[in-house]
Amino acid sequence: MTPDQNFPFSELLTQRNSTRRFLDRPLPDGTLAELLALARRAPSGANLQPGEFIALEGDARVRLSAALVEAFRAGRQEPEDYSYFPQPMPQSLRRRQVAAAKELYGALQTGRDDRAGRDRQFERNFNFFDAP
């Protein structure tokens, strides 16, 4: 995998999407290491590059998913290492968050009062959206 120096940045941005469906086969050997090496070059505050990664596949991924789903269903939640959302959440960001949720759950035909349906969708996070 080599960066294409002629790939316009605008194309990169307009072609970006967040896929929550995966093929049922793992990445070719070396691909994940190459992607992480590129990601390390992304800017971060004070060049701290705070990301840490643990890659799991196969049985190890299945076991982790099962433990995460069990904890979610039991209502157990680990303390956050950092606040994911700003506290307090500015109203402008809260409106965007609500709009995005309405779009997602609308596409899934899951109503606001359908707690079981919303939980099923949220649980997919812990199954890594069926990535291999």
Tokens standing for residue 80: 């956050």
**pLDDT for 91-101, tens place per residue?**
999 999 999 99
Per-residue confidence (pLDDT) for residue 17, from 0 to 100? 81
Q: Where does the pLDDT of residue 131 fall: very low under 50, low under 70, confident under 90, or very high at 90 and above?
A: confident
Q: What domains can be seen in the chain, in order of their start residue? A: 9-130 (3.40.109.10)
Left if phi > 0, otherwise alpha if psi is -120 to 50, otherwise beta: which for 58? Answer: left
Supply the pTM of this predicted model.
Answer: 0.73
Which of the pair, 30 or 40, is modelled with greater confidence?
A: 30
Terminal Cα-to-Cα distance of the chain (whole angstroms): 21
